[in-house]
Amino acid sequence: MAKLSSLLQYAYKKVDERDGGVCLHPGCGSSYNTDHHHCESRSQAKDRVACVENVVTLCWKHHHGSEGPHESARWREYWKQWQIKTYPYYMSKIEQNEMERLRLKRFADAKVKQRLDELEEKWLKWKECRIKV
């Protein structure tokens, strides 16, 4: 297993403090054999790997088992919704890419401009509010 960067280790420490070192899967609360799950996958959001808002603590069963986000689309979506509810300012890579595309079409029409304004406002909030690691 590759050694974790010190930045990622620090982020995981902050996540453990936030979650109390227990599995956040509904009804679980186990502190045995916990692991960290990235709501937005590490490959998809490379610049957010060490982002506290993108990580949740799960026990091994709820991370890698049949009820885990890697096996169940339902639980994958649940953790994405948890992330949005817990950190409404979090800007996903998909939203960031959408913002960049809309910037290219800035003067196309009023709807494009309105959505771009919303995303840029969220981007500023994200930069202001995110948990510093």
- Helix (H/G/I), strand (E/B), else coil: 54: helix
Q: Is the Cβ–Cβ distance between 49 and 42 less than 8 Å? A: yes
Q: Give the pLDDT of residue 73.
A: 87
How does pLDDT run along the chain (133 residues), one tens digit per residue?
A: 455 688 888 999 999 999 999 999 999 989 999 999 998 888 877 777 888 999 999 999 999 988 888 888 899 899 989 998 999 999 888 888 899 988 888 777 888 889 999 999 999 999 899 887 7
CA distances from 19 to 9, 40, 61, 74, 116 (A): 15, 18, 17, 22, 34
